[in-house]
Structure 1
Amino acid sequence: MSTIAKNIAKIGERIREAAHACGRPAEAIGLLAVSKTKPSADIRAAHAAGVCDFGENYLQEALVKQAELADLSLIWHFIGPIQSNKCKTIAEHFAWVHSVDRLKIAERLSSLRPAQLPALNICLQVNVSGEASKSGCTPEELPQLAAAVSRLPGLKLRGLMAIPEPTEEHSAQHAAFARVRGLAEQLQAEQQIELDTLSMGMSHDLEAAIAEGATWVRIGTALFGARGYPASTSI
């Protein structure tokens, strides 16, 4: 068994244990393998171990991998910040986008999504910790953004994504993820927007995220090892 396969098995066990601890079915939590900066060979190894969903931050890097791995049945998720001039390519080459935080970006993705493809699955990124360095709309901006995005053709608003401020304090982890869940519940109650996705939780805090309702956990380091970033990387 490869190192990546062993790591996937360990993460799978963590997901199952976390789900059991809070009374949720493990099948309700998807594993999104964050493969940014990792070679196609690593993605092949992860796919051989049962992973189908892969998250990429850098568009040009992702396109190279998609071409190299075209023989596999993979589902590609874009999870990085989005520049307007990249929307056409993202709309054409991904099944999910987790990082929409502005209506302008959503409108461009909508207008540029090829008609022959299924609706592009969208998560709205919310900055629940108020960090200046983080992307994401504010909780106050979210209701208006969600209402507008839910009406756009070619897109399907699935839920929310968040990257809370890193902390090892479990109560703080839970509080941040609970706030994301609460925002989603508020949208559903007040605007009747049907949401089924909470993209939250990474290698260090997936247990807290699952306890608070995560349906995707985005795992990179714990699967593929530490990342080595190139000197310059194009989004």
Structure 2
Amino acid sequence: MSTIVHNLQAVDASIVAAASAAGRARADVQLLAVSKTFPAEAVLEAIGAGQTAFGENYLQEALDKIAAVGTALPGRAIEWHFIGPIQSNKTRPIATHFDWVHTVERLKIAQRLSEQRPDNLGPLNICLQVNISGEASKSGVTEAELPELARHVAQLPRLRLRGLMAIPEPETAVHRQRAAFARLRKLAEALRADGIAIDTLSMGMSSDLAAAIAEGATIVRIGSAIFGSRKYE
């Protein structure tokens, strides 16, 4: 058994355990394998083990990988998620080649994705990134600005606003990890109470997966626990 296959099984077992502890079903939590910096061969190995959703941060690297996987496995249904910062001049290829975007924090970016999403593709799934810890160095809309942004994005054609994403400040104490994720969950609940139909909380990585699932994560973004340490970020 390869390392990636073994790691995927271990991560799945962790998700099963965390979901069970939270009284949730394993099917309620999607594993997004964060394959940034790793080659297409690693993605193909993970696909061979049954993984179908992959997260990428760097556009050109991602486009090369998407093409390589498409050539190796023509017609295979693979879900590609863009989870990196978005520059205005990169929105067209993101709108064209990805199924999900987790990092929308400005209306201008959402409008460009909407305008540039090809008509022959289904709606682009969107998560709004929230700066849940208020860090100056972190991307994301503020909690105060979130409701207005969500209302506007929800009305854009060719997009489907699915939910919220956050990368909280790193914490080792589980109760602090859970507190940050609980804030994001409550923001999503407030949006739903205002009539915005969202169903996704993209939160939790290798180091805080269990805390995120306990607070309602529906997508966990796991990289190093699957693919190993990265040579660069």
TM-score bracket for this pair, using the shorter chain length: over 0.9
Unaligned runs of 5+ in 1: 231-235
1:22-59: CA deviation from partner (whole Å, max 9, x where unpaired): 10001100000000000011001111111000000000
Partner of 2:19: 19
Q: CA deviation at 1:73?
A: 2.6
Unaligned runs of 5+ in 2: none
Q: Determine which of 155, 162, 165 is the counterpart of 2:166.
A: 162
2:193 aligns to what SS in structure 1? Answer: helix
1:82-110: CA deviation from partner (whole Å, max 9, x where unpaired): 00000001000000000000000000000
Q: CA deviation at 1:229?
A: 1.5
| Aligned ranges 1:1-235 → 2 under 5 Å | 1-70=1-70, 71=73, 72-190=76-194, 192-229=195-232
2: CA distance, partners of 1:14 / 1:132: 32
TM-score after normalising by structure 1:
0.96
1: CA distance, partners of 2:97 / 2:137: 27
Q: Aligned AA for 2:103? A: S
Cα RMSD for the two superposed structures: 0.7
1:150-207: CA deviation from partner (whole Å, max 9, x where unpaired): 00000000000000000101111000000000000000102x0111100000000000
TM-score after normalising by structure 2:
0.97
1: CA distance, partners of 2:144 / 2:95: 27
1: CA distance, partners of 2:11 / 2:66: 24
Q: Percent identity, aligned pairs only?
A: 61
Q: Aligned AA for 1:209? A: A
Partner of 1:233: none
1: CA distance, partners of 2:47 / 2:138: 30
1: CA distance, partners of 2:137 / 2:37: 21
1: CA distance, partners of 2:193 / 2:77: 36
2: CA distance, partners of 1:63 / 1:170: 36
Moved over 2 A (4+): none
2: CA distance, partners of 1:124 / 1:68: 29
2: CA distance, partners of 1:134 / 1:115: 33
Q: CA deviation at 1:133?
A: 1.1
Q: Aligned AA for 1:201? A: G
